[in-house]
């Protein structure tokens, strides 16, 4: 299975998380607690520490859970504190976004809620009340579908197979997936990263068309398609927490 990609986006109907504090190694740490989930879990990004827990889990158990991961919590909080650029981005005129490892500028002009690409510029033609973020995501997904479609054709040709249907995914735990029934899905946020990283994911999923497992034979196919897959996999794992969240 490909490395986990956790975005931890709350659904629109979710209740507001509760704010709490905990003492870790003499340090007061703020965190947000969301209840009503299936299991106890935690996540850290530039917004801080966030916990999700079933409704009936006692606060003492939640605090104990945090303490059991105290070293990791402190390390991650310090890492995000040193970062200058937040991941959560509000789309507006003049914004710069990463696209295939390069910077593209966003221009917002009056229009009928459409987008177009002009060189390295994403032009959003929007009505006054438009959701600019949704419009930008539409543009990025369209670019992703076109780009990864071309790369899928490239890799399936190397194994003498026709390219299966390609779709995009917003899954929280996978960069891509492959099914003989529904085809291949690639996470659209890969469009932000340098092309060689998306190529690894596409090659990985294309290899599944021959081997629906992660056996030694499967990895030999991956290596044939993408010889430097191990380096790309490691680099991709490190990129997880740098992806912008729109």
Strands 166-169 and 121-126: unpaired
CA 216 to chain centre: 27
* Ranges of H-type helices in the chain: 59-67, 70-81, 132-158, 195-207, 216-225, 229-239
Q: Kindly state whether residues 110 and 144 are assigned to the same domain.
A: no
Q: Kindly state whether residues 125 and 164 are assigned to the same domain.
A: no
- Single out the residue in 56, 81, 106 at which a domain terminates: 81
Q: Kindly state whether residues 144 and 129 are assigned to the same domain.
A: no
- For residue 90, being part of any structural domain is answered with no
Q: Which of 122, 120, 119 is nearest to 107 (CA)?
A: 122
Q: Kindly state whether residues 61 and 117 are assigned to the same domain.
A: no
SS3 label, residue 138? helix
In whole angstroms, give the CA distance from residue 152 to residue 157. 8
Say whether pTM exceeds 0.85.
Answer: no
Q: Which of 20, 246, 25 is nearest to 140 (CA)?
A: 246
In this predicted structure, what is the pLDDT of residue 107? 93
* Ranges of H-type helices in 36-131: 59-67, 70-81
Q: Kindly state whether residues 60 and 152 are assigned to the same domain.
A: no
**Number of domains within the chain:** 3
Query: What are the phi and psi torsion angles at 45 (to 5°)?
Result: -140, -160
Q: Kindly state whether residues 74 and 144 are assigned to the same domain.
A: no
Q: Kindly state whether residues 187 and 112 are assigned to the same domain.
A: no
Read off the pLDDT of residues 74-90 as tens digits, 9 standing for 90 and up.
Answer: 888 887 776 655 667 88
In whole angstroms, give the CA distance from residue 235 to residue 114. 34
Domain of 156, in residue numbers? 140-242
Q: Kindly state whether residues 213 and 166 are assigned to the same domain.
A: yes
Which CATH number goes with the domain that contains 188?
3.30.2010.10
Read off the pLDDT of residues 22-56 as tens digits, 9 standing for 90 and up.
Answer: 998 888 888 999 998 889 999 988 778 999 999 89
Residue 5's pLDDT band, with cuts at 50, 70 and 90, is very low
Read off the pLDDT of residues 97-150 as tens digits, 9 standing for 90 and up.
Answer: 999 999 999 999 999 999 999 988 999 999 988 899 999 999 999 999 999 999
């Amino acid at each position: 299975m490909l490395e986990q990609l956790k975005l931890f986006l709350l659904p629109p109907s979710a209740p507001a998380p509760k704010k709490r504090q905990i003492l870790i190694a003499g340090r007061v740490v703020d965190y947000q607690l969301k209840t009503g989930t299936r299991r106890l879990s935690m996540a850290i990004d530039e917004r801080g520490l966030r916990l999700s827990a079933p409704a009936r889990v006692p606060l003492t158990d939640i605090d104990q859970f945090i303490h059991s991961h105290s070293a990791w919590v402190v390390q991650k909080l310090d890492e995000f504190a040193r970062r200058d650029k937040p991941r959560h981005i509000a789309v507006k005129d003049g914004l710069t976004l990463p696209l295939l490892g390069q910077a593209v500028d966003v221009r917002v002009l009056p229009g009928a809620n459409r987008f177009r690409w002009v060189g390295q510029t994403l032009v959003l033609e929007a009505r006054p009340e438009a959701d600019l973020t949704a419009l930008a995501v539409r543009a990025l997904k369209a670019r992703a579908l076109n780009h990864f479609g071309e790369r899928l054709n490239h890799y399936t040709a190397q194994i003498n197979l026709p390219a299966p249907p390609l779709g995009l995914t917003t899954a929280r735990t996978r960069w891509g997936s492959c099914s003989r029934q529904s085809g291949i899905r690639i996470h659209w946020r890969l469009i932000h990263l340098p092309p060689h990283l998306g190529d690894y994911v596409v090659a990985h999923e294309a290899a599944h068309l021959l081997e629906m497992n992660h056996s030694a034979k499967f990895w030999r196919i991956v290596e044939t398609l993408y010889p430097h897959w191990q380096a790309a996999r490691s680099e991709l794992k490190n990129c997880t927490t740098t992806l912008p969240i729109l």
